[in-house]
Structure 1
Amino acid sequence: MKFDLAAEVRERAGKGPARQLRRSGRIPAVLYGQGECLLLSLDPLAVTMILRAHAGSTALISLTVNGAQSKAVRTTLLRDFQEDPVTGEILHVDLFEISLTKPIRVKVPVSVVGGVPAGVKDGGLLHHNMRELLVECLPTAIPERVEVDASELVIGQGIHVRELKQIEGVKFLDEADQMVVRVAIPISEAKLEALLTSGAVTEEGKEPEVIGKGKEEVVEGEAVDEKGEKVAAVAEKGAAAVEAKGEKKDAKEAKTDKKEAKPEKKAPQAEKKEAKEDRKK
């Protein structure tokens, strides 16, 4: 589809002139490509109609430039635009001039056709993985959209870029293994809750990993051994003290026995003295 758009050349650039231009009911635009760059002003209503009627990046626009010194009519693409985040009004537009005889690269929207996929009817979920595809072709061969028939997809199946229906004169540039659409296996709320619960239990039941735990265990073992050695030393010391005390006690008892043995030694002397006295008598 091709659109007609009128533009006027503007001489002043910058934020101030752009604000003045918007207050006057027009919006600033830039035309670049083919070795030239022009400052333009556009009718915002005409731009909005093009954006609403067709994907902006693929619509061919026949641009008539009033006040141009060279070509008055050019073939362009609406490459980019800016809009007010609050009001949604168009603030600025970038146009790209193209040659109808040279291939270009553009992004084309993906459209899923064929009705509800078989897998979705069985409870599956349709995942639209790629909303746009990058293609290369002549400007006159740009497709409005790339249609993907997903009606026969069952649960677990999908369509890759390499499986897309080829379009004459159009080359797909995305990776061949990329998934465009697929029907995923549904997960029930009970199963999801069970998975989350089991994951939480696993995390709670798992002992925290302590760096150098083995080393700490060895150190603790050494500490116990050292403590054990200390206890043994104390025990040996105590045993030695008890043994020394016992020896000392035995020595004391021996001394006591020796003292008791002295009177027995004196008894013969007393008997000798008594015998001497008897002789005197």
Structure 2
Amino acid sequence: MTILLEVEKREVRPRSIKKRLRQEGRIPADVYGYKTENIAISIDEKILQKALRKNGQNAVYTIDIDGKKMNVLLMEEQTDALSGKWIYVDFVSVDMKELTEVEAQIVLINDAVGVKQGGMLNQTLYSTLVSATPDKLPETIEVDVSKLEIGQSITIGDLKENKDYTILADKEEQIAAVEERVVAPEPEAEETTTVE
């Protein structure tokens, strides 16, 4: 299932067009990819934010440009460093039958046994590249760390294969480990001598 996003074609130049769009609450965007030339569009910022909150970054969206519908994924977003507001987004047009590669977030679930034993859980991989048809792309990959004891780790190769997608990272790549807590020794108090 895809989600319909309303977009409007926009002029590519001059720069003032993009500024005006942002002032109107619209984000300048481009669509490129499968069977399409680069198309300059704009989208309402609030509508896009709501869609992403509800459906996620890797959801397939349908956009209608001059009566031509296409399935797209949000590929890149640029934000203003000070305000955090979006200033530009990229959509890539996709074929629903062809494999597509995207980054999926890695989410650790459950409490590790090693943490209960006094260890510290250290996540080293927060996202990974996956391949799937657009309708099967995961937003997140949940990794159960409940059985990890102090000194143990979990790697990409330890994950069960999923019928919907393939993880493209090296099987040896570490996702998380439970490490022994290192307590820094307290500095010794300096002896003071008094001269009589």
- Taking structure 1 as the reference length, what is the TM-score of the superposition? 0.62
1:116 CA displacement: 1.3
Among 71, 75, 79, the alignment partner of 2:75 is 79
CA distance in 1 between partners of 2:122 and 2:14 (Å): 44
2:82 counterpart letter in structure 1: V
Q: Is the 8 A contact 1:10 1:41 kept in 2?
A: yes
Secondary structure, aligned partner of 1:107? strand
Report the secondary structure of 2:6's partner residue.
strand
Alignment of 1:94-109 (within 5 A): 94-109=90-105
Give the Å deviation of 1:83.
Answer: 1.6
Distance 1:14 1:161, change over 3 A: farther
Give the strand-richer structure, 1 or 2: 2
Question: What's the CA shift for 1:129?
Answer: 0.9
- Please say which structure displays the higher CA radius of gyration: 1
Q: CA–CA distance in 1 between the matches of 2:118 and 2:55? A: 34
- Inter-partner Cα distance in structure 2 for 1:99 and 1:13: 29
Relative to the length of structure 2, the TM-score reads 0.88
CA distance in 2, matches of 1:155, 1:14: 59
- Name 1:33's counterpart in structure 2: 33
Measure how far apart 1:143 and its partner are.
Answer: 1.8
Structure 2 stretches of 5 or more lacking a match? 189-196
Deviation at 1:144, TM superposition (A): 2.5
Identify, as 1 or 2, the structure richer in helix. Answer: 1
* CA deviation vs aligned residue, 1:79-132 (integer Å, no higher than 9, x gap): 01112222222211111000001101111111111x211000111111111111
Is the CA contact (8 Å cut-off) linking 1:48 and 1:90 kept in structure 2?
A: no
Deviations along 1:9-56, one digit per CA (max 9) or x if unpaired, are: 112334221112222332211011124110101101011223333442
Greater relative contact order, per chain length (Cα 8 Å cut-off, separation 6+): 2
Percent identical residues: 28
Choose which of 131, 149, 158 in structure 1 pairs with 2:153.
Answer: 158
C-alpha distance in 2 between matches for 1:174 and 1:158: 16
Does the CA contact (< 8 Å) of 2:28 and 2:41 recur in 1? yes
The 3 A distance-change label for structure 1 pair 170 and 25 is: closer
Pairs within 5 Å for 1:59-138: 59-65=59-65, 68=66, 72-113=68-109, 115-138=110-133
Asked if the contact 2:59–2:135 (Cα under 8 Å) also holds between the matched residues in 1, the reply is no
Q: Deviations over 1:185-237 (max 9, x none)?
A: 1101218x79xxxxxxxxxxxxxxxxxxxxxxxxxxxxxxxxxxxxxxxxxxx
- Which deviates the most, 16-25 or 122-131? 16-25
Aligned length: 187
Measure the CA separation in 2 of the matches of 1:2 and 1:12. 27
**Structure 1 unaligned runs (5+)?**
195-281
SS of 1:30's equivalent in the other structure is: strand
